[in-house]
Amino acid sequence: MQKILVLLLICFLSACQNQQERDQNKKNTPVKISAIQVNTARVKDTTFYKVIIANGIIEAKHRSEMRFRQAEVLDEIYVQNGDQVKKGQKLAQLNLSFVKNNLLQDEVNLATAENKMLEMKAQFGVSNKHDSLIRPEVLANIKIRSGLREAQTRLQQTQLAYEQSILKADFDGVVANIHTKEGNYMTSSEVFCTLISQDNLNVVFNLIENELNHVEKEMLIEVKPFSQKDKTYTGKITEINPFVDKNGLVRVKAHINKPDQKLYDGMNLKVFIKKPLEDVLVIPKSAVVLRSNREVVFTLQDNLAKWNYVKIKDQNTSHYAISEGLKPSDTIIISNNINLSHDAEVKASFKQAQN
């Protein structure tokens, strides 16, 4: 019986020793870590554009509130809102009955005065002389005493009133803001319509003080209307108002190049100002990660990720401008880099970075 127990104890000890040897072998066997799949791109030595974004409003350079210069009933309207008109085109007309009667009466009065003047010239003994050959003081006296000068003045005033009863466009443009109707009484203080030139448009926007260092006259801009997200117009800064308001804003004006009929006075749009920066390297924002509150970019060397501290000079919506830490033609890692460590093994796919 004792022999059997001793034999069982020997077998148990042998089994424990074999298990310990197997566990030790597992610990000594290196664990194979698969390479991390990443995308890479080449560092670009190119011009970087700092982008300043602002909200702006379109202002027509030529914008006129059209009024009649006298009061009368509105007789006819020849245009409607949105119509394109040419300079001198008739827009509307007041009732002309009264002014036409005055015009006829003044023409009769002028003819009467001219006949009276002929009689006066005979009295002065100059009926056979041309006006240019009559002494100026004599001719002036004849015109006054005959009533010719007064008749001429009244006729000119009535002709002017007739012209002012017909409203014409001051320049080529589009008609807006007609709110009245035919038959309404119009006074000289009321605006009949607004005439806007769509061929000469500006955009007005505000910038904060610290953005002024990046903006100057003649700088090119891009504008995108909120109503046309796929449409972009270009322009040029023409005016920077040298005054900072109580909100720390400065008013800037730019001229829009080649505007079309889809741009309206008062329209809201987005303004993009691009300022080029030289002597920087351009990389996508996805290439930069934070390590101990410092910016780090991983470069690729022999399928290993290499840790590089970088200095960011500026940024736009999609890219950073790097002034230190990288070299032109470096290959940088732009994906799956959040948890990367120095010398981590990676499997890279090249991707062309867009600037």
Tokens of 168: 């014409």
pLDDT of 205-226, one tens digit each? Answer: 999 988 888 898 999 999 999 8
Say whether pLDDT at 255 is over 60.
yes
Residue 267 sits in the same domain as residue 321? no
Residue reference for tokens 């990443």: 38
Q: What is the mean pLDDT of residues 247-256?
A: 94
Which tokens go with 248? 């720390």
Q: Is residue 16 part of a domain?
A: no
The confidence score (pLDDT) of residue 308 equals 94
Q: Are 6 and 305 in contact (CB under 8 A)?
A: no
Residue 62 has pLDDT above 70, yes or no: yes
The answer as to whether 87 is a domain residue is yes
* Residue 271 and residue 213 in one domain: yes
Task: Write the pLDDT tens digit of every residue in 270-306.
Answer: 999 988 887 788 999 999 999 888 999 999 999 999 9
Environment class of 302 (CB within 10 Å of its CB; exposed 0-12, middle 13-18, buried 19+)? exposed
In a domain, 4, yes or no: no
Q: Are residues 211 and 249 in the same domain?
A: yes
Same domain, 240 and 289: no
Q: Is residue 2 part of a domain?
A: no
Residue 117 to residue 239: CA distance in whole angstroms: 61
Residues of the chain with pLDDT > 90, as a percent, come to 45
pLDDT band at 190 (very low <50, low <70, confident <90, very high): very high
**Pair (86, 183) in one structural domain:** yes
| Residue 123 counted as domain residue | yes
- Give residue 74's pLDDT band: very low, low, confident or very high (50, 70, 90): very high
Residues 209 and 265 in one domain: yes
Among 180, 196, 212, where does a domain finish? Answer: 196
Same domain for 186 and 74: yes
CATH number (domain holding residue 323): 2.40.420.20
Q: Predicted confidence band at 5 (pLDDT cuts at 50, 70, 90)?
A: low
Residue 304: strand pairing partners: 301, 345
pTM score of the predicted model: 0.63
Residue 235 near residue 259, CB atoms below 8 Å: no
Q: Is the model more confident about 86 or about 147?
A: 86
The reply to whether 107 and 224 lie within a common domain is: no
Residue 294 belongs to domain spanning: 36-47+280-350
Q: Are residues 154 and 300 in the same domain?
A: no
Residue 296: inside a domain = yes
CA 338 to chain centre: 38
Please report which confidence band the pLDDT of residue 236 belongs to, taking 50, 70 and 90 as the band edges. Answer: very high
Give 190-194's long-range contacts (Cβ < 8 A, gap of 24+).
Answer: 190/67, 190/68, 191/65, 191/66, 191/67, 192/66, 192/67, 192/68, 192/74, 192/91, 192/92, 192/167, 193/65, 193/66, 193/79, 193/81, 193/91, 193/92, 194/63, 194/64, 194/65, 194/66
Ranges 78-87, 131-140, 207-216, 267-276: which has the least confidence: 131-140
Q: What is the mean pLDDT of residues 134-158?
A: 83
Alpha helices in the chain (DSSP H): 2-28, 97-123, 136-146, 148-164
Band the pLDDT of 139: cuts 50, 70, 90. confident
Q: In what order do the strands lie in the sheet with 173-176?
A: 63-66, 193-196, 173-176, 84-85
Same domain for 114 and 150, yes or no, is yes
What is the predicted pLDDT for the residue at 211? 87
Averaged pLDDT, 177-198? 93
Both 264 and 306 in one domain: the answer is no
Residue 317 shares a structural domain with residue 249: no
Q: What CATH number is attached to the domain comprising 182? A: 2.40.50.100
From 178, 196, 214, give the residue that closes a domain.
196
* pLDDT, averaged across the chain: 85
Residues 6+ apart with CB under 8 A from 209: 244, 248, 250
How many folded domains does the chain comprise? 4
Q: Which of 17-21, 203-207, 266-270 has the lowest mean pLDDT?
A: 17-21
Residue 241 lies in a domain: yes
